[in-house]
Structure 1
Amino acid sequence: MGLGMPRDLAADWTEYATAPEPGVELLRARMRRHVYERHAHDGYALGVTDWGVQAFRCRGGAHASTAGMVMAFNPDEPHDGHAGDDAGFAYRMLYIETAAVRAVLEDARERPGPLPFFAAPLIADPTAGLLVARTHALLTTSSSRLERDAAFSAMIRRLAAHGGLGTEPRAAGRHDRALDRVRERLHADAATEVATAELAALASMSRYELCRQFHRRFGLPPHAYQLRLRLAEAKRLLAAGEPAAEVAAAAGFVDQSHLNRRFKGAFGITPVQFARAVQQSGGQFGSGPT
């Protein structure tokens, strides 16, 4: 709660908070020089550009979001981000657990159903843009619970109408079982170093073929997928109050400097800023942006 308006509009700045309701994290930033590394989130990442040109790559294509446009990233969808020109841009994002989205849509449908899948990561809908901005503002101020709930529900329902339902169709591949074994190995112990050769042997593929097929299946090559898991674990430990230096070691980073660099590259904030935001919110923390 409580994202304020920074005074220095010439410099890069980032503000981060967790919402009063579990399962939602909030980011507001102004960027000129910072470049987001390619990363993905466990849940939905929904945002709006306030001003400027916000450039990013997603699904192999280049995109540019301008004032009022909505960015809608599906869970596990890799993307990056940077300024589209020298003036930079300002934007706000909501990182939302899938359970929170499902609850709104099931309430609206009055029955279970599939989660939305956004066919394009950029939506030109002024009404949706206003709903995202308003919901973000209400979740960072002392608004009533009823007002927050109404705004959040309206935002999700409007954007879900753009996304359609279900997941992107994908034909089963002959390598799926082998790639699933590699993915399970990474999830089992993300902090421990593992050689590409070991993963390739597990999948009965060459190292080149493994990297190519894994990237095609999960959107990230094995090393980037492992980094995503390590960052998610770092967030969990930081939210629990663990010191950053100990978190770095436990999550598999070389040292605290390495953690700081990769954390900032993915999320736009430092581990200390993240931990402080969680503490100020009373310790509420969801899966959030990973």
Structure 2
Amino acid sequence: MGEFRRSTVLPHLEVRGSCRRNTCYRPHFHDTFSVGLIDRGSSVFTGSPAGAIRLHPGDVVVIPAGHVHACNPDDGPWRYRMAHMGQEWAVSLVSRGAANRLLSGIGVLRRDDLHQRMAAAMQTVFADAEPARIEAEFGAALAELGAAAPEHLVPSGTDSALRLRLRPVMDRLRGDEANPPLDELAQLVGMTRYGLVRAMRRATGLTPLAWRQNARIVRARYLLRTGVPIADTAQELGFTDQSHFHRVFRAHVAVSPGAYRG
């Protein structure tokens, strides 16, 4: 069960509220800056080299764009809210120092006041408030998040030089309708197929196939938000049929394309 609300005046801002009982997310990344609020129940965050992090009601999770993660319920119902926003917009609302801290990695903050502050900002989207009020609320909330010391911090660990070397592979994965053979991808960057898989994991946190699937779902979310029909979205992204598209989309977003499109 989930509800999405998008700002009618700030198209780069989307909020969702959801309740889950079963594992619903595979490891994934967003192209947005995201903030999650744990409202009820226990859940487990994965994506940290140090191991899983247990999340509790009142926790706030800050996730910069491109960071691979997954969060799933531990036992019983789990209720949470997420705000996804353009990363450039988010950092424009705060000081440079706060922006650097917010982008330093995935942070878990364990303070009820921060949870309440971000919840109030999210509510302005559900209420379809005026742009100035939305920006003021999000700016104040993000500034407080940027000033707080996280209980847990998962550094980005991004190898920028390796990502630059792998750019031809990622461009091919993003652009091809069919899944390119690993041998062809490896030849683009002078690696063996096994070396490429290891390099992609180190640079992005995902295998080439998993990265391609995630990139397609990021694009699918954009197309659906802008009103493109589900069938046309699936076709444009090279899915063999709509049922396949539904399965992959649900594994990444935990709702069907129809529910997401609204």
Does TM-score exceed 0.5, indicating one fold?
yes
Identity %: 25
**Match in the other structure for 1:159:** 145
How far residue 150 of structure 1 moved from its aligned partner, in angstroms, is 2.1
Number of residues of Structure 1 aligned to a counterpart in Structure 2? 256
**1:1-290 correspondence runs (5 A):** 13-20=1-8, 21-60=10-49, 61-85=51-75, 87-105=76-94, 108=95, 114=100, 116-162=102-148, 168=156, 177-187=164-174, 189-276=175-262
Please give the TM-score of this superposition, normalised by the length of structure 1: 0.80
Q: Partners in 2 of 1:149 and 1:130 — Cα distance?
A: 17
State the AA in 1 paired with 2:192.
S
**Match in the other structure for 1:8:** none
Q: Partners in 1 of 2:65 and 2:83 — Cα distance?
A: 13
Residues 57 and 170 of structure 1: CA distance in aligned 2, closer, same or farther (over 3 Å): closer
State the AA in 2 paired with 1:94.
A
Residues 170 and 192 of structure 1: CA distance in aligned 2, closer, same or farther (over 3 Å): closer
Q: Partners in 2 of 1:132 and 1:170 — Cα distance?
A: 27
How far residue 206 of structure 1 moved from its aligned partner, in angstroms, is 1.3
How far residue 118 of structure 1 moved from its aligned partner, in angstroms, is 4.1
Q: Partners in 2 of 1:176 and 1:37 — Cα distance?
A: 22
Residues 251-284 of structure 1: CA deviation (Å, up to 9, x unaligned): 12121111111111111221112222xxxxxxxx
Q: Partners in 2 of 1:162 and 1:36 — Cα distance?
A: 28
Residues 28 and 81 of structure 1: CA distance in aligned 2, closer, same or farther (over 3 Å): same
Residues 74-117 of structure 1: CA deviation (Å, up to 9, x unaligned): 210111121111x2210100011112112202xx46x9x75732
Flag as ranges the 4+ runs of structure 1 deviating above 4 A.
167-173
Q: Partners in 2 of 1:24 and 1:71 — Cα distance?
A: 17
Please give the TM-score of this superposition, normalised by the length of structure 2: 0.88
RMSD: 2.5
State the AA in 1 paired with 2:40.
W
Q: Partners in 1 of 2:110 and 2:225 — Cα distance?
A: 35
How far residue 222 of structure 1 moved from its aligned partner, in angstroms, is 0.9
* Gap runs ≥5 in structure 2: none
Residues 120 and 236 of structure 1: CA distance in aligned 2, closer, same or farther (over 3 Å): closer
* Gap runs ≥5 in structure 1: 1-12, 277-290
Residues 103-148 of structure 1: CA deviation (Å, up to 9, x unaligned): 202xx46x9x757324443111222111111111121014444432
State the AA in 1 paired with 2:37.
V
Residues 209 and 231 of structure 1: CA distance in aligned 2, closer, same or farther (over 3 Å): same
State the AA in 2 paired with 1:207.
R
How far residue 229 of structure 1 moved from its aligned partner, in angstroms, is 1.7
**Match in the other structure for 1:283:** none
- For the residue of structure 2 that corresponds to 1:39, the secondary structure is coil
Comparing both chains, which one has the higher relative contact order based on Cα–Cα distances under 8 Å and sequence gaps of 6 or more? 1
- For the residue of structure 1 that corresponds to 2:45, the secondary structure is strand
